Amino acid sequence: MFSEEHKNYLKKVKRQNKIVIFFKIFIILAFMSLWEICAKLEIINPFLTSYPSQIILTIFDLFKENNLLLHIWITLYETIISFLLASIIGIIIASILWSSKTIFRILDPYLTVLNSLPKISLGPLIIIWVGAGTNSIIFMALLITVFTTTVNMYNSFITTDPYKIILMKSLGATKMQIFSKLVFRGNIPSLINTLKINISLSLIGVIMGELLISKQGLGYLITYGSQVFNLNLVLTSIFVLGIISYLLYIIIDLLERKIK
């Protein structure tokens, strides 16, 4: 049986959760309603800003043309591949940097410079090096994401309690055992937070790549809509991207809850 204090605590937590969910829904509904009303009353220019009901109609029209799901799938595929590759590569590099201070001191300035480069400016070179296709889009997303993964995970690794490391060394643990049993496992929360950032950055990188060269995907729809001055198509694509980004975040959040 729970104590009365514990029951009151659980009631308080449930009440707070309900308040959070309510305001999450309220804010988006209030924003959509205000947007719709302002467009219908022409307080804002509906040609330039579109409005929710028009966006919904455009989504249905794209479904009828049987190409919206294809564009969504292309963008999702490129995002997931770049996300997985960037996460794996970034964690491996961060692990190597943690294992050797000498390697870190050698590579640190290069990582800083590469991370600070405006990746979109490398677009023409990436197209020449990798080719104008899916590979170049994934490569663009990798450039944006992998350095963030490396820096975040390395900074998490080096903040591991040094006294715990000394204790494991005194017990005869090898460097690999210290890393796998203590450093990596102790930084799972940081890894999950990094994955949350990665999924958004991967989507941004993919859209940047699609804006440059793609003939399919949501980035292509944005480019095409801009070229023909169909701003409703542009805003509809951005709206769909927002939904996708939120759903991907939810997946990582569920993973975090499973691990906890």
DSSP 125-156: HHHHHH-SSHHHHHHHHHHHHHHHHHHHHHHH
First to last CA, the chain: 24
Arithmetic mean of pLDDT, 17-35: 89
Arithmetic mean of pLDDT, 208-222: 85
What tens digit of pLDDT does each residue of 126-145 get? 777 777 778 888 888 888 89
Q: Is residue 41 part of a domain?
A: no
Chain centre to alpha carbon of residue 34: 28
Q: Is residue 86 part of a domain?
A: yes
pLDDT value at position 4?
Answer: 67
14 vs 110: CA distance, rounded Å: 49
pLDDT value at position 232?
Answer: 87
For 58, the token pair is: 């455009």
pLDDT value at position 40?
Answer: 87
Q: Please say if the pLDDT value at position 1 is more than 60.
A: no
Q: Let me know the angle formed at the C-alpha of 133 by 128 and 135, rounded to the nearest 5 degrees.
A: 85
pLDDT value at position 96?
Answer: 92
The percent of residues above 90 in pLDDT, for the chain, comes to: 13
DSSP secondary structure code for residue 1 in this structure: -
CB 45: neighbour CB atoms within 10 A?
11
Domain that holds residue 192: 64-259
Arithmetic mean of pLDDT, 56-74: 85
Q: What is the CATH number of the domain that holds 202?
A: 1.10.3720.10
127 vs 61: CA distance, rounded Å: 33
Q: Is residue 36 part of a domain?
A: no
Number of domains the chain contains: 1
pTM of the entire predicted model:
0.83
